């Protein structure tokens, strides 16, 4: 597989501007294309890496939001239990 074919396969999921750049470079004469392909390959790889990192961050934020909801639920339940026990203790103190 040539570098051009490798870049073409990976470019399907790239932003439009990057896909246009890949297409433009592939139209250049072989000598120019060979000079630009290593830099283009780095751009394609870094774009994919950024997309993976963004997906991981979004997943982590989603999990954090869920964890916060559980913690808030637990905190409210604990507060209700505390208030109930305080009322019971105050009721016993009056007797």
Q: What is the pLDDT of residue 92?
A: 85
Question: Is the Cβ–Cβ distance between 21 and 39 less than 8 Å?
Answer: no
Q: What is the pLDDT of residue 27?
A: 96
Is the model's pTM score more than 0.85? no
Q: Which of 73, 81, 13, 17 is nearest to 45 (CA)?
A: 13
Phi-psi region of 2 (alpha: psi -120 to 50; beta: other; left: phi over 0): beta
Q: What is the pLDDT of residue 35?
A: 96
| Tokens linked to 3 | 């570098």
Q: What's phi and psi for 14, nearest 5 deg?
A: -90, 160
Instruction: Give the whole-angstrom CA distance, residue 88 versus residue 77.
Output: 17
Q: What is the pLDDT of residue 18?
A: 92
Q: Could you tell me the residue ranges of all domains in the chain?
A: 3-94
Per-residue pLDDT of the chain (95 residues; tens, 9 = 90+): 566 666 766 667 899 999 999 999 999 999 999 999 999 999 999 999 999 999 999 999 999 999 999 999 999 999 999 999 999 999 887 66
């Amino acid at each position: 597989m040539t570098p051009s074919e490798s870049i073409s396969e990976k470019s399907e999921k790239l932003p439009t501007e990057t896909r246009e750049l890949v297409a433009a470079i592939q139209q250049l004469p072989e000598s120019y294309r060979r000079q630009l392909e290593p830099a283009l390959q780095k751009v394609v790889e870094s774009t994919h890496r950024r997309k993976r990192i963004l997906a991981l961050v979004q997943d982590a934020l989603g999990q954090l939001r869920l964890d916060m909801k559980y913690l808030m639920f637990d905190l409210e339940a604990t507060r209700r239990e505390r208030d109930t026990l305080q009322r019971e203790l105050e009721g016993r103190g009056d007797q």
